[in-house]
């Protein structure tokens, strides 16, 4: 049987031939790719030539290309269009995948060669120097410098964590798909026509009648904003907060406890006080105390504002004839009422101006004006009918990448929004342009009209995409978003600022029926309301950051999920009417992988940078070409070739300041 995953892809842009790829192709392809990579590594380790940059570090950069190619396809599908068979393969392959790389990064002969190059780095270019240093640290942090017993234990822990992370993610998808709130006409009082239509479309997609709502953010948020039935708001809110914690086959309680135990054990073996100390040693923050200092600096004004907002909402409940205490499932509903009165503004008024396709084009237009690039629809294989592909080119027509958009929710797709890709940019042996993907979970309705949070989400993920598309590095291991975790959100979050700039809104925000440009009066209301409810928005996010740090700091031996959550929230004084953005059992950022573990704070860390950085654009003009060129050259193009704070200082001319963040959030 010919396996398309193992063939040369003669497709436009070298895109994977998705129509030819079947689930049964993956396991044999992985087998061959693992074997091929092991041969490549063996050739490096058994070389008789003295180790140098080219025959060791650069050779490692060239190795594993087949495995990278297959992995990109497989993990994209398990995130965006999975099924039971793919999930079973994922469960089998993840510990083997982890074991494969763990074996490489603890291989003693290879470590000695890397160590030799690291010990004599003279004569290397700056990007080569950084590559060697990062590679050496990668070996050390994988346990290569440990004794045999400890090294083997770290390898075992990594394999177990790979399986547990996969189980956590699959459990979330299982519980998300299991919950359905199917309502009749009499149960959807208060919902605007657009929200009802989205519910009807969701029901019809499952061959059901009525209105279907789920715990996906794009479904639950408008329901909580508008549904008059308080009992139904409570039901869907509790379903969301209990995702992964329902005492069924999708229960994540034991999974996450095992994850934290193993992470702590690994950190201890590596000589660190906690998993947070271990992870943060590789990030800009460097130490848990610096994270806590930043969170505390923002928490005090945020919780003070949140308490004021809670008082306002409680008064609104009384004015509305209610005699109950404000609860978390009431917050969105009464906030919407106050916003309507205070700013004469509601989602039903806003959404008609934000049709998905227009918002997408608005983001494209910003990038075109800032960086001189162009987006053109192209015909190339894609993995799902919802996906659209674009060629991305410079003004002179030079192709710089391919960009795929996958915007709609579906049962086979995990929740949230993210940027991924099928190929990274590099100029090592030849010029290779990237293939970048943006995934979101917007309702699949016609028209698909977005709320402001969803508009920001689209711009945010597009910022990540630009980081990948505009990369200009030599080595693939330093490409695009291959930067420190708490720096990766700068390009995405700074992009959000353009979404609500009046000049930009007038370009893309047009009424989906009449074509009318968004009125200045409505823009003024949007801007006036921009800091509204920021006490809530900031505290629910920060509460999740504190929860993350609680799980990954120095832990008591006798602990439960309830005790960790209760203690963490009591310590910061979170009020009852607000819950953390994620509870432990549905906190995918920190338990479905290691990426954001002890790192959920990265969004607010990067917001200090993006708020301060956008001030440079505001001072010079939001489309100032010199400022844009500096941001592109010093941030977007550099990837992981230099220390991120050095890159930021080169762009901004100084260290970042926290005051613009507090100002933007109205704190």
- β-partners of residue 211 are 183
Pair type for strands 399-408 and 435-442: parallel
Q: How many CB atoms lie within 10 A of CB 490?
A: 28
H or E segment at 207? Answer: none
**Burial readout 446-480 (b: 16 or more C-beta within 10 A, e: otherwise):** ebbbbbbebbbbbbbbbbbbbbbbbbbbbbbbbbb
In order of 263, 291, 590, the CA distances from 552 in angstroms are 8, 13, 10
Select which of 461, 489, 565, 615 is catalytic. Answer: 461
Q: Are 21 and 383 in contact (CB under 8 A)?
A: no
Q: How many CB atoms lie within 10 A of CB 91?
A: 13
Instruction: Please confirm, yes or no, whether 461 is among the known catalytic residues.
Output: yes
Reported residue count of the chain is 667
- β-partners of residue 419 are 438
Phi and psi of 293, rounded to 5°? -60, -45
Burial of 396 (0-12, 13-18, 19+ CB in 10 A): exposed
The first and second tokens of residue 103, run together, are 């074996």
Local structure of residue 56 (DSSP, 8 states): I
Q: Report which of 659, 122, 667, 79 is spatially closest to residue 415, judged by C-alpha positions.
A: 79
Q: Report which of 448, 528, 15, 403 is spatially closest to residue 218, judged by C-alpha positions.
A: 448
- β-partners of residue 213 are 181
- Which residues, 6 or more positions from 624, have their beta carbon under 8 angstroms from its beta carbon? 617
Phi and psi of 318, rounded to 5°? -65, -45
- Which residues, 6 or more positions from 633, have their beta carbon under 8 angstroms from its beta carbon? none
Q: Are 77 and 12 in contact (CB under 8 A)?
A: no
Q: Are 497 and 610 in contact (CB under 8 A)?
A: yes
Three-state SS for 442? Answer: strand
Local structure of residue 422 (DSSP, 8 states): E
- Which residues, 6 or more positions from 424, have their beta carbon under 8 angstroms from its beta carbon? 432, 434, 468, 471, 476, 479, 480, 482
Q: Report which of 591, 611, 608 is spatially closest to residue 600, judged by C-alpha positions.
A: 591
- What whole-number distance in Å separates Cα of residue 564 and Cα of residue 577? 19
Q: Report which of 504, 512, 586 is spatially closest to residue 544, judged by C-alpha positions.
A: 586
Three-state SS for 25? Answer: helix
- What whole-number distance in Å separates Cα of residue 594 and Cα of residue 260? 11
* Helix orientation angle between 26-45 and 65-80, rounded to the nearest 10 degrees: 150
- What whole-number distance in Å separates Cα of residue 593 and Cα of residue 50? 37
The residues carrying an active-site annotation are 461
């Amino acid at each position: 049987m010919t396996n398309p995953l193992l063939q040369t892809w003669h497709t436009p842009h070298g895109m994977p031939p998705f129509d030819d790829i079947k689930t049964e192709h993956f396991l044999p392809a992985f087998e061959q790719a693992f074997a091929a990579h092991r041969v490549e590594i063996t050739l490096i380790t058994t070389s008789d030539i003295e180790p140098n940059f080219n025959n060791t570090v650069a050779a490692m950069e060239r190795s594993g290309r087949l495995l990278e190619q297959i992995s990109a396809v497989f993990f994209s599908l398990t995130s965006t269009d999975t099924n039971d068979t793919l999930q079973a393969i994922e469960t089998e392959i993840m510990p083997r995948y982890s074991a494969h790389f763990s074996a490489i990064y603890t291989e003693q002969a290879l470590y000695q060669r890397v160590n030799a190059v690291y010990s004599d780095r003279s004569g290397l270019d700056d990007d080569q120097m950084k590559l060697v240093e990062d590679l050496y640290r990668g070996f050390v942090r994988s346990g290569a410098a440990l004794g045999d017993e400890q090294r083997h234990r770290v390898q075992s822990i990594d394999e177990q964590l790979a399986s547990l992370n996969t189980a956590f993610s699959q459990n979330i998808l299982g519980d998300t798909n299991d919950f359905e709130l199917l309502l009749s006409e009499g149960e959807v009082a208060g919902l605007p026509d657009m929200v009802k239509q989205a519910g009807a479309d969701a029901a019809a997609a499952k061959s059901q009648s009525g209105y279907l709502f789920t715990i996906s953010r794009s479904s639950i948020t408008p329901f909580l904003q508008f549904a008059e039935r308080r009992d139904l708001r409570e039901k869907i809110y509790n379903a969301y907060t209990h995702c992964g914690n329902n005492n069924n086959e999708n229960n994540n309680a034991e999974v996450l406890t095992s994850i934290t135990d193993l992470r702590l054990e690994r950190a201890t073996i590596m000589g660190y006080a906690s998993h947070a100390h271990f992870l943060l040693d590789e990030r800009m923050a460097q130490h848990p105390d610096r994270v806590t200092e930043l969170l505390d600096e923002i928490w005090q004004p945020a919780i003070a504002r949140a308490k004021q907002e809670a008082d306002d909402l409680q008064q609104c409940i009384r004015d509305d004839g209610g005699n109950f205490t404000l609860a978390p499932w009431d917050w969105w509903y009464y906030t919407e009422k106050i916003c309507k009165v205070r700013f004469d503004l509601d989602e039903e008024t806003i959404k008609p101006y934000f049709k998905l396709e227009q918002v997408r084009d608005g983001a494209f237009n910003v990038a075109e004006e800032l960086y001189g690039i162009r987006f053109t629809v192209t015909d190339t294989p894609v993995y799902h009918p919802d996906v659209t592909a674009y060629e991305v080119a410079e003004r002179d027509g030079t192709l710089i990448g391919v960009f795929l958009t996958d915007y709609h929710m579906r049962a086979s797709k995990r929740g949230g929004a993210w940027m991924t890709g099928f190929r990274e940019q590099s100029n090592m042996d030849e010029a290779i342009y990237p293939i970048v993907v943006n995934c979101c979970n917007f309702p699949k309705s016609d028209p698909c009209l977005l709320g402001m949070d969803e508009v920001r989400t689209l711009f945010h993920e597009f910022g990540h995409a630009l980081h990948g598309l505009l990369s200009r590095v030599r080595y693939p291991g330093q490409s695009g978003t291959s930067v420190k975790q708490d720096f990766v959100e700068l390009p995405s979050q700074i992009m959000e600022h353009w979404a609500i700039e009046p000049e930009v809104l007038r370009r893309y925000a047009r009424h989906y029926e009449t074509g009318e440009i968004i009125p200045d009066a409505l823009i003024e209301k949007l801007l006036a309301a921009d800091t509204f409810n920021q006490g809530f928005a900031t505290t629910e996010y920060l509460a999740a950051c504190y929860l993350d740090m609680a799980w990954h700091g120095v832990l008591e031996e006798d602990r439960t999920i309830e005790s960790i959550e209760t203690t963490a929230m009591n310590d910061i004084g979170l009020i009852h009417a607000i819950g953390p953005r994620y509870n432990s059992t549905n906190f995918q950022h920190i338990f479905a992988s290691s990426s954001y573990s002890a790192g959920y704070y990265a969004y607010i860390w990067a917001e200090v940078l993006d708020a301060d950085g956008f001030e440079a654009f505001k001072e010079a003009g939001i489309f100032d070409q010199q400022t844009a060129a500096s941001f592109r050259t010093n941030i977007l193009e550099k990837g992981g070739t230099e220390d991120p704070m050095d890159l930021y200082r080169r762009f901004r001319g100084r260290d970042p300041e926290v005051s613009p963040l507090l100002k933007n959030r109205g704190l």
